[in-house]
Copies of this chain bind each other. A is one copy, B any other.
Amino acid sequence: MSSISKETLQRLPGYLRHLKELQKQNIENVSSNAIAEVFQYNPVQVRKDFASIAGEAGKPKTGFSVNNLISDISEFLGYNNINEAVLVGVGNLGHALLSYSGFKNYGLEIVAAFDVNPEKTLVHGHRVLDVKYMSDFVKRFNILIGIITVPQESAQAVCDMLITAGIKAIWNFSPTHLDIPNNIAIMNVDMASSLAVLSQRLSEIMKNEK
């Protein structure tokens, strides 16, 4: 089992971004308190998060070394070795993801995109191929990650194809639940869930305003 909690994992990229800001400002050390202040977390939580991944401890009165934290978190998140991925579904959202140049910093490289009806052969510097070549491509280059940005109605079919081709992780942007075997990793980016949380928070706030 994984020893680090999902919650900690999700906070790490935020810390990393902030630490890089500090690095730019030539700040060498930072206390858990200062970081907690920025993110509105509890300082103990910040220390625990760091303790679960950092090789090095913080020092009393000084705090943590910004540089060390940056390398520890980057290393832990696997930002130093790139995972290759394919993207399926070059619609509006597919375009948006292909246009995002930041994935490489997160250890992800989209090496090809596929669509049922490719209108262009190149989108933001990424090859776009007919989806019929997808399976071969995935097998041939041993791709492990598939990004699904197809419409809801074809998502399950695409998912099945990807898995059959050998994909081990699915990043699903399609608004649907995918049925997958339990030896496949999945992460859903669900706008409806996200919006549900935001709406609820908004209601709370409006209730308090009154």
Q: Mark A169-192, 1 if CB is under 8 A from B, else 0.
A: 101000111010011111101111
A77 within 8 A of B: yes
A106 within 8 A of B: yes
Q: Mark A100-140, 1 if CB is under 8 A from B, else 0.
A: 10110011100000000000000000000000000000000
Mark the stretch among A13-21, A43-51, A61-69 that contacts chain B.
A13-21
Q: How far is the CA of A204 from the CA of B197 in the complex (A)?
A: 29
Q: Mark A1-32, 1 if CB is under 8 A from B, else 0.
A: 11010100111111001100000000000000
Q: How far is the CA of A99 from the CA of B94 in the complex (A)?
A: 12
CB-CB under 8 A from A80, the residues of chain B are none
Q: How far is the CA of A206 from the CA of B189 in the complex (A)?
A: 22
Q: How far is the CA of A179 from the CA of B21 in the complex (A)?
A: 14
CB-CB under 8 A from A209, the residues of chain B are 168, 183
A42 within 8 A of B: no
CB-CB under 8 A from A201, the residues of chain B are 2, 169, 185-187
Say yes or no: B202 contacts A185, CB within 8 Å.
yes
A145 within 8 A of B: yes
Nearest B residue to A199 via CB reads: B78
Q: Closest approach, in angstroms, between the C-beta of A90 and any C-beta of chain B?
A: 11
CB-CB under 8 A from A205, the residues of chain B are 168-169, 183-185
Given A96-B95, A204-B2, A204-B185, does the pair A198, B171 have CB atoms closer than 8 Å? yes
Given contacts A83-B199, A102-B191, 4 further A-B contacts (CB under 8 A): A9-B196, A10-B193, A96-B96, A187-B194
A-B contact pairs, 19 of them (CB 8 A): A2-B203, A6-B200, A9-B197, A11-B193, A14-B177, A17-B176, A17-B192, A92-B99, A102-B175, A106-B195, A108-B195, A144-B202, A145-B198, A168-B205, A168-B209, A169-B202, A169-B205, A185-B205, A187-B201
